Amino acid sequence: MTDKIAVLGAGSWGTVLANLLVENGLNVALWTHNPKQIPEINETHHNQHYLPDFVLHDCLRATTDLAAAVAGATVILFVVPTNAIRSVAEQVAPLLTDQQPIIAHAAKGLELNTKLRVSQVLTAVLPKGAFRGPVVISGPSHAEDVATRDITTLTVASTDLQAAQTVQKLFMNDYFRLYTNTDVLGVELGAALKNVIAIGAGALHGLGYGDNTKAALMTRGLAEITRLGTHMGANPMTFIGLSGVGDLIVTCTSVHSRNWRAGNALGQGEKLPDVLAHMGMVVEGVSTAKVVHELAKDQDCDMPISEGIYQVLYQGAPIKTVITDLMAREGKPEFDFGLTLQNASKQV
């Protein structure tokens, strides 16, 4: 029997992933909380707001009925923004039967206030023993490029390797390739933290900085992502993988990135509320910057670039002043993870 997959969230990424699964021959229910999308997706095969130029597969079906979407699903994939995960999971929790579906998500952020990763939110909200996973899908993958079948590689992570392998098989095709990883912490931190750095990359572009500066930001951004990640117990290798440097590269260089575009607009002098209002899609790095600011303090971990971006977003610091201050910091060795690597090796 064909697997049924429930995809929760019909924004850019949920729609494209659901469409890909239909192309892979699976039975897919795409859940949206917006009734306007139902005739659009089911009859005219479009998602006008999020993917205006993309024609969806004839067989893709959307529904606003969450119970119908998850009934009989072997995999339930959450693809709403990080700060909506908890409320959607609370609605799913009473609908889980004894079939133990795999719970997966493709969100890239950290929850405001709790500072939790998305898999931690799902584990906290969904009834224990009622699901397998959670499984995390991450990596360099803009929806617009997957929609045109650009070759794309991702990481699929879970401590339940069999669940990760099941999800891997469902998604793989001739343009979409996934690699398994068991380091959920490293994968989720890499995914969330790169969005903050991508805002910085866009800002540099908006201000007219050149390629040296952008390479500096990405490399030193990766250094501080790795510093915090290994400090918290992630496998350092994860940060040189697809969900680490891979996603950092695509998000810091692609015009499709909402985080990069938001940074670019800030660099050109737009105000943050205007930038967010014009975007009409989630810019995860904005709320994640706030969480990273708090997490770095809790963990006593130096995150100077992310902190600078936090100062720009939340304290009105001029970007040029932040850059000047970063350049004026005392000289340091390039690598400083010696002790924390020992810490991380306990996890590997």
Ligand X SMILES: NC(=O)C1=CN([C@@H]2O[C@H](COP(=O)(O)OP(=O)(O)OC[C@H]3O[C@@H](n4cnc5c(N)ncnc54)[C@H](OP(=O)(O)O)[C@@H]3O)[C@@H](O)[C@H]2O)C=CC1
Please give the positions annotated as active site: 194
Is 50 assigned a ligand-binding role in the annotation?
yes
Which DSSP symbol is given to 51?
B
Q: Which does 88 bind (CB under 5 to 8 A by kind): ligand X, ligand 13P, none?
A: ligand X
Is 320 assigned a ligand-binding role in the annotation?
no
Contacts of residue 211, defined as CB under 8 A and 6 or more positions apart, other chains included, come to none
User: d(Cα 142, Cα 153) in Å, to the nearest integer?
Assistant: 11
Q: What is the closest distance, in whole angstroms, from the C-beta atom of residue 170 to ligand X in the complex? A: 17
- Among residues 66 and 275, whose Cβ is nearest to ligand 13P? 275
Q: What is the closest distance, in whole angstroms, from the C-beta atom of residue 181 to ligand X in the complex? A: 16
* Identified binder of ligand X from the candidate list 5, 80, 136, 232, rule CB under 6 A: 80
Q: Which does 250 bind (CB under 5 to 8 A by kind): ligand X, ligand 13P, none?
A: ligand 13P
Dihedral sign for Cα 177, 244, 299, 204, please. Answer: negative
Question: Per CB under 6 A, which region of 29-37, 96-104, 199-207, 237-245 contacts ligand X?
Answer: 29-37
Contacts of residue 2, defined as CB under 8 A and 6 or more positions apart, other chains included, come to 25, 26, 27
Tokens of 264: 């670019």
Is 186 assigned a ligand-binding role in the annotation?
no
AA letter at 113: N
User: d(Cα 223, Cα 202) in Å, to the nearest integer?
Assistant: 19
List the interface residues with ligand 13P, window 106-145 (CB under 6 A). 108, 140-142
Q: What is the closest distance, in whole angstroms, from the C-beta atom of residue 20 to ligand 13P in the complex? A: 15
* Identified binder of ligand 13P from the candidate list 257, 264, 311, 340, rule CB under 6 A: 257
Question: For 111-244, where are the alpha helices, taking DSSP H only?
Answer: 118-125, 143-147, 161-171, 184-207, 211-231
Q: Which residues bind ligand X (CB under 6 A)?
A: 9-14, 32-34, 50, 79-82, 84, 87-88, 106-109, 141-143, 281-282, 284
